[in-house]
């Protein structure tokens, strides 16, 4: 019996900030893989790195941002890759960002936008991304995040 491999080598992070009127999510426009698509922060886990450390490193590398608080989103993004005939599962993290923080993009992205969750859900390309965004809005914006999901990075 043939099996489809399940791979977990990525971490995904949704950056959220609170303005005077709403919570906004950061989307980045990709320049390499999935060129031109809007996405959240994501990247490959390096040797010896915990997934949450990857999320923090990628946030810094891709945007120059540092979070006020980092949480496990208590969910994973999952998708099937036809070219690899494999299922990829990526743990998701939530970073709360100061409203005055400045985004500095690296070469992996050509543009960024802070948008409402409703706008973000319309901008992203994949159902898995939409499900993750809806989950984060429900569990981290509409509700107080569970204290047990807080990651102390110090």
pLDDT in tens, 75-119: 999 999 898 899 999 999 999 999 999 999 888 888 999 999 999
> What b/e readout covers 114-136, taking b as 16+ CB neighbours within 10 angstroms?
bbebeebbebbeeebbeebbebb
Structure pTM?
A: 0.93
Q: Where are the beta strands (DSSP E) in the chain?
A: 6-7, 10-18, 23-30, 38-39, 41-44, 69-81, 86-97, 109-116
pLDDT digits (tens, 9 = 90+) for 67-86: 999 999 999 999 998 988 99
Residue 21 pLDDT greater than 70, yes or no: yes
């Amino acid at each position: 019996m043939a099996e489809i491999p399940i791979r977990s080598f990525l971490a995904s992070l949704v950056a959220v900030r609170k303005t005077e009127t709403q919570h906004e999510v950061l989307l980045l426009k990709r320049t390499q893989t999935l060129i031109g698509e809007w996405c959240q922060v994501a990247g490959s886990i390096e040797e010896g790195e915990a997934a949450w450390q990857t999320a923090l490193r990628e946030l810094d590398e891709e945007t120059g941002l540092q979070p006020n608080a980092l949480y496990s989103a208590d969910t994973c993004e999952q998708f099937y890759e036809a070219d690899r005939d494999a299922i990829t599962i990526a743990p998701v993290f939530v970073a709360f960002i100061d409203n005055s923080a400045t985004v500095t993009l690296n070469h992996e992205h050509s543009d960024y936008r802070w948008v409402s969750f409703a706008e973000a859900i319309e901008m992203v390309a994949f159902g898995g991304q939409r499900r993750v965004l809806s989950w984060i809005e429900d569990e981290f914006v509409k509700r107080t995040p569970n204290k047990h999901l807080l990651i102390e990075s110090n």
